[in-house]
Every structure is written in C-alpha cells, then in structure tokens.
C-alpha cells in the first residue's frame, strides 16, 4: 500500500491518469474519500493484487462453490442484482433447491432465481424426503467458452487473465451466445439490448475485492481466490483430496468454476 500512497503524493494527476488507464491496479476505490479531508482505505480481500502493475498474463483465478455449506439464503442473488441493476426476470447468478426423495425422484425449483431466499419448505412432494440441498449457479468462466466461440463479431471474449467478458458497446444482440452457453448463464439484457452475464465481478477483483456474491455469502459457500497464491483458500482446496467437480464436464468447456460436494443429480 505504501508505494501507492507515495505515488499519490508524488503526482496526483499522474496517479489518477494511471488509475483511469488501469495500469495501477485497484483504482480510486483503494482509498475512499471521507467528505472533505481525510480518507480511509478498504483492506484488500484478495492479497497480492494492489500496489503493483497488474499483469493480465500472469493471473489465475478460481471460483469454488461449496454445496455442503450453502444455506440458500439468497444473499448472493440480492447483492448481485443490486451491484449490476439486473432487470427483473434475468439472473447473473441464481440458487437452485434440489430435493430428493427415497424413490430417487429429484425435485428442483428456483423461485425468482432465489432472490427472495427460501422462506418455506416445499409442500407438493408426495414421497418421503431423503435430502435437500442448494446449488448456486453462475458463469463457469470456461477454459474453452462456447459463447466466445460463436460470437460473430468478437463482442464476448476471454481476457488474458481468464475472465469471459462482454463488450456491451460492441455486442449486436444476436443472442447466439445465449443459445450456445451450456449453463444458461447468459441472457439478453432488455435495458442495453445486449448479451449479459456474470463477470465474477471483474471490476472488484481488479481492485483487490472479492466478487460481491462471495463477499456477502454468510456461510462461506462461495470462495474465490488466486491460484498463484499457494496460501489462498482456493489453492488449498484444489490441492486437498476433496472431491471437486465441474458442471456438465461432457460439454468439454473446462470451467474454472469448481463445485465441492456436488451431487450427481445436479446439471
């Protein structure tokens, strides 16, 4: 943090310019102004991003969803909707509820994408319930993304640091990527009339903050971190003997979104 402060003091204008160009990671929000004089610093949530040049080619991030911890409160969905003003009826992230009975029937629901949480148990299930669990879904940030493959104009792309993003000033809104995504993570934003989807909060990550859904998760069911950092939680989980799977591996998309404790019923 020191060098950033020094940079500010040395040449404020130069610093701001650099921030705007994005060559100094963690832009203005590293330091929050405090009305008039003084400022506070928000501690970083992902160590090792701030205070140095962000080299896109050297980053590796992973997202892990721990099914065994999710309580289905929908905090993530609420925060996500607020962060991006997602129009009603479309979801960058959602939480599904799976119920399995003793006859192996699987009942899945996801009222309003889980935005309102799960206040009541399901009452329309005839058999005896064996198991209930929640599965949060979001963009899989595939190694081999179908959406990028099919975009006719290059408006959706994979960045050198592994994020699949959308250039909403370039997207023509043909919806081909929406058809191609095996995970239904995409939708056509009725406000911008372009494709839209979860970005793993790229703007927060670049500032050293966790994606907002990870940050608000009270149960630590969502984990995000730097794979280059052997001390990060995601590195440790991926290095552990835990069973880690991805969704629809037969699609061959090689997601960077991993699931811990995923059941076979989940698609």
- 19 touches 28 (CB < 8 A): yes
The reply on whether position 218 binds ligand HEC by CB under 6 A is yes
How would DSSP label each residue in 10-53?
A: H-HHHHHHHHHHT-BSS-GGGEEE-SSS-EEEPPPSSTTSTTSB
Q: d(Cα 206, Cα 204) in Å, to the nearest integer?
A: 5
- Smaller CB separation from another protein, 96 or 230: 96
**Residue 118: partners with Cβ closer than 8 Å, 6 or more residues away:** 72, 73, 74, 97, 134
Number of residues binding to ligand HEC, judged by CB under 6 A? 5
- The region of 5-13, 180-188, 228-236, 238-246 touching another protein under the rule CB under 8 A is 180-188
Under the binding rule (CB under 6 A), the answer on residue 140 touching ligand HEC is no
DSSP lists the bridge partners of residue 189 as: 194
Instruction: Name the minimum Å distance from CB 244 to another protein.
Output: 18
Rule CB under 6 A: is residue 219 a binding residue for ligand HEC?
yes
- CA 25 to chain centroid, in Å, comes to 19
Instruction: Specify the stretch interacting with another protein by CB under 8 A; choose among 2-10, 19-27, 223-231, 237-245.
Output: 19-27
Residue placing its CB nearer to another protein in the complex, 85 or 230: 85
Structure tokens at 175: 């919806």
Instruction: Among 5, 7, 167, 227, indicate the residue that binds another protein (CB under 8 A).
Output: 167
160: contact with ligand HEC by CB under 6 A: no
Between 42 and 239, CB nearer to ligand HEC: 42
List, in sequence order, the alpha helices (H) in 22-167.
Answer: 75-84, 146-150
DSSP 150: H
Map the footprint of ligand HEC across residues 47-76, applying CB under 6 A: 73, 75
Chain residues binding ligand HEC by CB under 6 A are 35, 73, 75, 218-219
């Amino acid at each position: 943090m020191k060098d950033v402060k020094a940079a500010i003091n040395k040449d404020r204008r130069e610093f701001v310019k650099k921030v705007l160009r994005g060559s100094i990671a963690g832009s203005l929000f590293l330091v929050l102004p405090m009305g008039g004089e003084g400022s506070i610093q928000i501690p970083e949530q992902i160590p090792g991003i701030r205070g140095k040049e962000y080299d896109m080619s050297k980053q590796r991030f992973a997202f892990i969803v721990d099914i065994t911890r999710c309580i289905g409160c929908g905090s993530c969905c609420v925060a996500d909707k607020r962060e991006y003003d997602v129009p009603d009826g479309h979801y960058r992230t959602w939480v599904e509820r799976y119920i399995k009975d003793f006859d192996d029937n699987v009942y899945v629901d996801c009222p309003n994408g889980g935005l309102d949480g799960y206040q009541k148990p399901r009452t329309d299930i005839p058999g005896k319930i064996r198991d209930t669990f929640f599965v949060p879904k979001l963009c899989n940030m595939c190694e081999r993304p179908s959406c990028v493959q099919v975009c006719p104009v290059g408006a959706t792309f994979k960045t050198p640091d592994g994020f699949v993003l959308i250039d909403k000033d370039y997207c023509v809104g043909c919806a081909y990527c929406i058809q191609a995504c095996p995970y239904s993570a995409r939708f056509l934003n009725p406000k911008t009339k372009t494709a839209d989807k979860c970005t793993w909060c790229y703007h927060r990550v670049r500032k050293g903050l966790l994606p907002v859904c990870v940050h608000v998760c009270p149960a630590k069911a969502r984990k995000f971190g730097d794979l280059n950092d052997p001390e990060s939680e995601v590195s440790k989980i991926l290095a552990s003997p835990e069973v880690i799977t991805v969704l629809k591996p037969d699609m061959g998309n090689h997601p960077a979104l991993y699931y811990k404790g995923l059941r076979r019923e989940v698609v």
